[in-house]
Structure 1
Amino acid sequence: MDIKTLLLALALGNLSLCAALFFFEQDARRAGQAARSHATWAWAKQCQALAWTLLYFRGVLPDFLTIPFANAVLFAGFALDASALWEQAGRRVWRSHLLPALGAAVGLYAGAWLLQVPAGGRIAIGAVASSLFFLAGAAALGRGWRHASALRRYLVLATLVCVLAVLARGLGSLLPEGVSWINPLAMQALGMGALYWMMVSSAFGYLLLARQREQGELARLEVVDALTDVPNRRGFYQALTPWIALARRPGTPTALIVLNLDQFKRVNDNYGHPAGDMVLKAMVGVCKKQLRDSDQMGRLGGAEFAILLPRTSQEDAEMVAERIRNAVAALPVKAEKAIINMTASLGVTTIRAEDSTVSLFKRADEALHSPQLDTSEVMKL
């Protein structure tokens, strides 16, 4: 495959990605899905498509468009590619890091062109600049390497191989003419082939990573309450199960607190569900401040929550429950139409060797609703 054909393949490949993303976003809007259009990645593909198209028409269009301008747009596409990966990793580094680097790369290349630096020098500058942007994307993919998925690890390794090929192409262009063991056409093909591989790998890799992340979020929402960001009933039961099994062994007991916000239905009825949501989130925030990192809070449903206190005696759990009750009562919630004061009822018990989930929560609920029960076992606040 000759170089012109590779340039055309790069241009058409990026154009097809732009078209596919455009129609995907149209379907997503009609389906009412969340507005996550991967705009940075889309801009990256558009820049690369334009740049490769201009490079393909070199010799037909003016040199200003097909050399400095086309390479500047190409650098922008590579920088936006890296930025999209960092955004996917949860950090926005475009303005603080990649934008200055892009400005330096474009300025250096344009200056070399204006000063009529030989083509080999410009190629070397372009190769180093492109490699730096590729490495920035690889750094985003490589975060948390020990726990990274196989897909992320593959993309990092593939990027590093492409960087080596692009650098070899760029540095090889600086060698003096007539070096017998270097075939200029082969080196050019190596660099262009690496960029083509980079385009395909980054395109499918980014889309697969986005899908992987969405699937992970769906899996998380199966065990996490979306409103309060604590485990839901299913997630809390999963966390509780091993502690019930450990209760059969001698040692420090594990306590359970069941918490219910008093008169919560009136909040929804009088001030609306948004105000009720604010109350629930504020209450969870207050409770977390009273708990250790090892403690686990979960939402069982409505305004009912449970708190798992590993290796905590009945007496210590009662002290924690009292702190939570006072903290909840001391924090008014500012809603749109009123200031809402909260109170909470709590039931405390410890896990026994013979307990199942049913018997444990039955005893905690009895503590919650029956203040006359023996407080050495359970407590009503």
Structure 2
Amino acid sequence: MDIKTLVLALALGNLSLCAALFFFEYERKKSLSMSTWAVAKQCQAIAWILLYFRGVLPDLLSVLLGNCLLFAGMALDAGALWQAAGRAGWRRTIMPALGAAVGLFAACYLFDVAPLLRSAGGSLIVAGFFLSGVAALCLKWNEATMLRRFLVVSMGLLSLLIALRGVLAALVDGFDAELMQLAGFGALYLMMLTNAFGYLLLSREKLGGELARLEVVDAATGVPNRRGFYQALAPWMALARRPGLPTALVVLNLDDFKRVNDSYGHPVGDAVLKTVVDTCRQQLRDSDLMGRLGGAEFAIQLPRTSLADALMVAERIRAAVASLPVKTDKAVLNLTASLGVTTIRAEDSTVSLFKRADEALQAAKAGGRNRVVEAPQASTLDA
């Protein structure tokens, strides 16, 4: 395959990606990172088309504009990876670097620097932007999936190959220029494929992770839902069979919460629940876990906590909720909560544990609400 064919393949490959992204994003809300990546591919497609028609179009278009658009596409490619990594400030570094690269290349073109040196400089610029994208993929390396690690290694090696081509072109006299160009464009073609499939697979991986998270997290409050809380509770149920400090369970229900939804609407109700959750978390340790069981009912897991200490924590939570004025657009609401407290016993199942905690909660409701009630001790039940 000659260089001209490789350039055409790069142009058509990026054009097909642009078309696929257009139809993928049609009538959908675009993420900022995906939009940046789409613009990057558009710049690269136009750049390779201009470079393909070098000799047909004026050099000002095919060489100068083509390379400048290519640099812009590579820079935005790296920016999309930084954006996907949660670093929205990438423009403060990558865009000035892009401006400097375009200015340097334009100066080399206008002052008629030797084409071989100009090509070498272009290779180093492209490799630098690619390595910037690789650096974004290296963030939180210990948490990286095998896909991300593969992309780091493969894109890093291809970037170094492109950079090596530029260095050899600049420093080694008599080196086979056509062979160097063929190797450089071959690396760029492989980079296009790796980057395209890698980015799309990373986006799919991220979406899958978000869907998996939503299965166990309550969207309104950000705490685990019933399923997530039960999953987190399972190992502590097993540990209850061993000697040591018990694990306590607190079940909390907001008193008369239905009137909030009925009077002010569910969006206000969700805002109130989020405020209550934040208030409860302020009374808890980092090791404690709060989850939403449904409606206005929550569960709190207190690892290695005796019943007496759990009652103290529950009382602090009750007092904090009762003293909290919840501000909404329509009114300032005052809420109270009823709580049932128990500890996990060796013979407990999830059903028996929550049944006992819920009975204590119902006793708090029946006793006038806004109070804490402990479940009966095992000895009392046996009697």
TM band (smaller chain): over 0.9
> How do 1:1-381 and structure 2 match up within 5 A?
1-26=1-26, 29=27, 34-36=29-31, 38-175=34-171, 177=173, 179=174, 182-371=175-364, 375=374, 377=376
Unaligned runs of 5+ in 2: 378-383
The one-letter code matched in structure 2 to 1:211 is: R
State the distance in 2 between where 1:152 and 1:129 align. Answer: 23
Give the TM-score normalised by the residue count of structure 1: 0.93
C-alpha displacement of 1:310 = 0.2
What per-residue deviation string (whole Å, max 9, x for no partner) do you get for residues 66-110 of structure 1? 222211111110111111111111221332111111111111111
SS in 2 for 1:93: helix
C-alpha displacement of 1:147 = 2.4
* Percent of paired sites with the same residue: 64
State the distance in 2 between where 1:77 and 1:204 align. Answer: 17
The one-letter code matched in structure 2 to 1:200 is: L
Conserved? CA contact 1:314–1:377, under 8 Å: no
Q: After the TM superposition, which of the residue ranges 91-100 and 237-246 deviates more from structure 2? A: 91-100
State the distance in 2 between where 1:302 and 1:34 align. Answer: 30
Give the TM-score normalised by the residue count of structure 2: 0.93
State the distance in 2 between where 1:13 and 1:232 align. Answer: 44
Q: Find runs of 4+ consecutive structure 1 residues off by over 6 angstroms.
A: none
State the distance in 1 between where 2:172 and 2:56 align. Answer: 29
State the distance in 2 between where 1:330 and 1:60 align. Answer: 78
C-alpha displacement of 1:124 = 2.1
State the distance in 2 between where 1:42 and 1:216 align. Answer: 23
Conserved? CA contact 1:80–1:94, under 8 Å: no
State the distance in 1 between where 2:375 and 2:204 align. Answer: 52
Conserved? CA contact 1:233–1:298, under 8 Å: yes
Q: Please, what is the CA RMSD of the aligned residues?
A: 1.6
Conserved? CA contact 2:233–2:301, under 8 Å: yes
Conserved? CA contact 2:340–2:375, under 8 Å: no
The one-letter code matched in structure 2 to 1:367 is: A
State the distance in 1 between where 2:213 and 2:78 align. Answer: 27
Conserved? CA contact 1:8–1:56, under 8 Å: yes
- How many pairs align? 370
Unaligned runs of 5+ in 1: none
C-alpha displacement of 1:176 = 5.3
Conserved? CA contact 1:44–1:81, under 8 Å: yes
**Structure 1 residues 376 and 366: CA distance shift in structure 2, 3 A:** closer
